[in-house]
Amino acid sequence: MSQQPPLTPGRTPVSQFVENILMRTSIIVPSALACLLTVLGLVACSRTRPIDDDRLKSADRDAGNWLMYGRTYDDQRFSPLNQINEQTIGKLGLVWSRELGTTRGLEGTPLVEDGVLYLTSAWSVVHAIDAKTGVVRWTYDPSVPRSRAFFICCDVVNRGVALYQGKVYFGTLDGRLIALDMRTGKPVWSVDTVEKTRPYAITGYPRVAKGLVLIGNAGAEFGVRGYVSAYDAETGKLAWRTYTVPGDPAAGFESKAMEQAAQTWHGEWWTVGGGGTVWEGIVYDPALDLVYFGTGNATAWYRALRGPEGDNLYVASILAVHASTGEVAWHFQITPGDNWDYDATQPLLQADLTIGGRPRKVIMQASKNGFFYVLDRATGEFISAGPFVKGISWATGIDPKTGRPIESPSAYAGAQPVIVSPAPGGAHNWNPMAFNPTTGLVYLPAKVATQSLHAPDPNWKYNPKRDNVGFDERYDGPLNDTLKKLPAPTGELLAWDPVQQRAAWRAPYPVVEGAGVLTTAGNLVVQGRADGVLAAYRASDGKVLWEFDAGTGIMAPPVTYLVDGVQFVTVMAGWGGPDGLFNAPDLGKVRPGHGRILTFALGAKAKLTPPPFGHSEPPKPAITLNATPQTVKEGSILYSTNCQYCHGMDAVAGPLPDLRYATKEVHEQFINIVLEGARAPLGMPSFKDLLQAEQATAIQAYLLSRASEPAKPPGN
């Protein structure tokens, strides 16, 4: 039997009982009656309550809405609603779906207030949608220049908005922070948060803390300096900015923290920016008045290319700063001197746990590097860490006193190539995890035994016109064959005990990639997958209770809420991101396609008919191009260097057009498209700064050679 929600402070047992009944049944309570019950103190009516600091602090008691990225400030993604529970989940059906007009990745968390969904789509487009009917209230397109896609590492995604004082806040791919009127979608203010001459982007969500809107940025793969900015929520005026890596010492340091961090860097790191971007995972503890965020990789990825070795603070770290000033309170570095793209930007989750017989206020992260960390969120003290996946090869363990990793001798060989696990995509990435206080477990998507070749390019030099990872794309040594012989990666939904640092259960996927997670008081965990299936599991043991085919791969996390007394579940389906674009063949049967939003409730029976996507027949070359084998091979290398991160490994596409199927008209304009930007308005930028005409022709020859091979269509 599912458990009752806990007694809400300030409510009588009778009023709590009535509220519980409303949560647990399918009775539809009209809005007017809901407001009348509010007067009687029986249910909350959000129409009379602005979204202010007090309301955000008490979001745990506002069960009918989903007001923040993780529902509450602790980001647990736990809902006390239990109309939909382990007994009733079999009756869950589709209420409505709406196509969002994109085939790119959808990663956002919809926020819900007063029966309206506020969500972001590809290219930073914002929608307000009626939660009951799917009718669009308004749409705002910030008109991000499509050429920006060139300087975005991981698809043109956006992970969501923030709501506060009648406004909707969101970041854009070209680095703006915009405030919209919640009712109309009209802009209230807009500010540039980044230096326009550097290749910054924003894909993460904003966080509201004490009247400030906090936002980070991305771009470390291209060469930028990371920071977090705080803006006045009413006016958009900059309140403070905290950098995550030091700048040029000759210009002076912005803070004591940056001066200390500079002692862990060597060479002229500032000339390439340094990295350490905060592209995800900003959370806030109102009681401690601390803001927490994780930082990303350095530029370049590899230590041997960054100069003499050091810890390179504060890359791959978790930082706590004071909300009012941005002053650093503490830091903990997950991967000192990171060499493998082990960002520490994964979601941060707060909880109060009893560990070793004493209550602890903790902050937790399932890191890219394969270890699950538990820290004291007041002090940053290391409490524990444990490997949550098998096959970790970069480290043999974590020092139990300091929390510092014990690196494996095989994980680093200077400028020499090595194979390491996890891969840069991590054992867990940005996909949100959830904590259920009833079971005491954290639920997260995990990737097992993902191996990657790391081959630093000894000739690498910073180039502001392209990415600056530092990987040697021309490496053709024996480790390539070794990598091909290693077992394929697998994926699973993992239930992790953060106190004992061990798995409670594991539910394997038929694909590698799992989406963000929701857990509820109905003893449920709800999660999508790359094959387009949305599934509900029993939270206590991982048994699959319900599945639905959403037609397109899912990356985004579901949310749940009440409208007129009925519990709904909403999720966005849209396959993309770095895994979708790269489209490696070992991910399983992923489902690229048209992106949509879907909403479910008990007893609903709407049908979903996804529009067709992709090709059903093998490709055929559209033209004949006489090219030597040497030209085709060179085209293959150039394609891998310049094209595959959007158009797919081996020219087999995911969400974007499959270039093996390019038409005669496309091939006749090929040079104009690649070098002159003829399709820049569609997101295909010009490569004239990186390629010569003969190189573009070599790429074309390679694509035509791929089209002539007896290849199967994508996904088969």
Active-site positions read: 341
Q: Who contacts 228 (Cβ-Cβ below 8 Å, separation ≥6)?
A: 214, 215, 216, 241, 242, 244, 278, 282, 291, 293, 321, 326
> Could you give the 3-state DSSP secondary structure of residue 277?
coil
Q: Who contacts 692 (Cβ-Cβ below 8 Å, separation ≥6)?
A: none
Reported residue count of the chain is: 716
Q: Who contacts 252 (Cβ-Cβ below 8 Å, separation ≥6)?
A: none
Cα–Cα–Cα angle for 609, 585, 416, rounded to 5 degrees:
145
Contact 334, 292 (CB under 8 A): no
Contact 291, 239 (CB under 8 A): no
As a whole number of angstroms, the distance between CA 152 and CA 203 comes to 9
As a whole number of angstroms, the distance between CA 86 and CA 93 comes to 15
| Strands of 84-172, DSSP E | 92-99, 111-113, 116-120, 126-130, 136-140, 162-164, 167-171
In this structure, what are the phi and psi dihedrals at residue 59, rounded to the nearest 5 degrees?
-60, -25
Please measure the distance between the N-terminal and C-terminal CA atoms of the chain and give it in whole angstroms.
43
Integer-rounded Cα Rg, in Å, for the chain is 25
Hunting for tokens 């009775």 — which residue is that?
27
> How many Cβ atoms sit within 10 Å of the Cβ of residue 671?
16
Type of residue found at 298: A
As a whole number of angstroms, the distance between CA 582 and CA 385 comes to 31
Return the bridge partners of 373, or none.
365, 385
Element (H, E) at 8: none
**Closest C-alpha among 609, 574, 570 to residue 84:** 570
- Pull the structure tokens for residue 660: 């093996």
Contact 592, 613 (CB under 8 A): yes
**Closest C-alpha among 600, 456, 496, 537 to residue 132:** 600
As a whole number of angstroms, the distance between CA 204 and CA 124 comes to 10
> Could you give the 3-state DSSP secondary structure of residue 150?
helix
Element (H, E) at 88: none
Hunting for tokens 């396609």 — which residue is that?
593
Q: Helices in 550-669 by DSSP H: which ranges?
A: 577-582, 629-642, 644-647, 664-668
- Pull the structure tokens for residue 355: 């560990």
**Closest C-alpha among 421, 399, 402 to residue 410:** 421
